[in-house]
Amino acid sequence: MADDFTERYRDLLTGPYDCVDRVVLNAYYPLGHSPGGFRTWWRRWHGDSDADLDDAHLMRLAGRFARLVRVWAKADGVPVIECKAGQRKHQIAEEYLASHTVGPGVGLAQIADTLSQDAAVGRLGRACDRWIYTACLCSGLDLAEQQASGFRYAYSTYQAEYSRNLIFASGARMDRVFGTIADRTRSRLDVPTLRTLFGVKKRPAAPGASRTRCTGRSRSCGTRPG
């Protein structure tokens, strides 16, 4: 369905197309968000016992996960990039993709094409389930351990960007249209007020108000009329 903007400039276009720019999906385990929840999950897995709930067994579990991930990656030719806390993972991926060629992965493009449909959420969830339980989580818990402990991920969409792109027949006309729209948008903005709201410009003091000034060098404070 065409929008009003597309209809307005239809004579200048050779056609539009819609696409998904980015989908960020967070997976989380609800019981893992609190100490009591984690203990409940551990007891389900270990016959209602806390006997092995200690640092040594948890470190052993983490080491097992890392080892199996590397084994799987080596067998399937998937690169493993070590990241530190606080690093921007998407930037690391962008740098890698700039100099390397990779094939199709999970196949989210097919789901992205249907995001405007009501059933898209269900498709996205099923695709994530197939990937996370058979290619990711199984490195930490095999299928039997997943069932015994009741480990199931929940999903929350963090960000979804869906864009409509217009293909102009003439680049020069496109530039003129864009420039005109930008000028009209700026003309409606109260720039001085925006500068004040976002802290670029100080708010004016009320008449008769006094200001307090402190100098760190002499550690003294005083007031003066506004």
pLDDT of 53 = 92
Cα separation, 67 vs 189, whole angstroms: 57
CA-angle at 109, arms to 111 and 1, nearest 5°: 65
Token couple for 190: 């109260």
Task: Take residue 165 and report the two structure tokens written for it.
Answer: 């792109």
pLDDT digits (tens, 9 = 90+) for 1-47: 568 888 888 899 998 887 777 778 888 899 988 999 999 999 999 99
Cα 5 to chain centroid distance, Å, stands at 29
**Measured between alpha carbons, how far is residue 38 from residues 29, 49, 124, 168, 214 in Å?**
9, 13, 27, 56, 51
pLDDT at position 2: 61
Amino acid at 195: R
Q: How far is CA 131 from the centre of its chain?
A: 18
Residue among 133, 143, 139 nearest 71 (CA): 139
Bridge partners, 167 (sequence order): 15
pTM above 0.85, yes or no: no
pLDDT per 10-residue tile (average), the chain, 226 residues: 80 85 83 91 92 92 90 85 85 86 71 70 79 80 87 83 87 90 79 73 55 40 41
Phi and psi (nearest 5°) for 9? Answer: -110, 25
Predicted local distance difference test score (pLDDT) of residue 225 = 44
Instruction: Return the DSSP state at 141.
Output: S
Helices and strands of the chain, counted as H and E runs: 9, 4
**What's the first-to-final CA gap in the chain, in angstroms?**
58
Q: Which residues neighbour 56 within 8 Å (Cβ) at sequence distance 6 or greater?
A: none
β-pair partners for 155: 27
Cβ(43)–Cβ(49) below 8 Å: yes
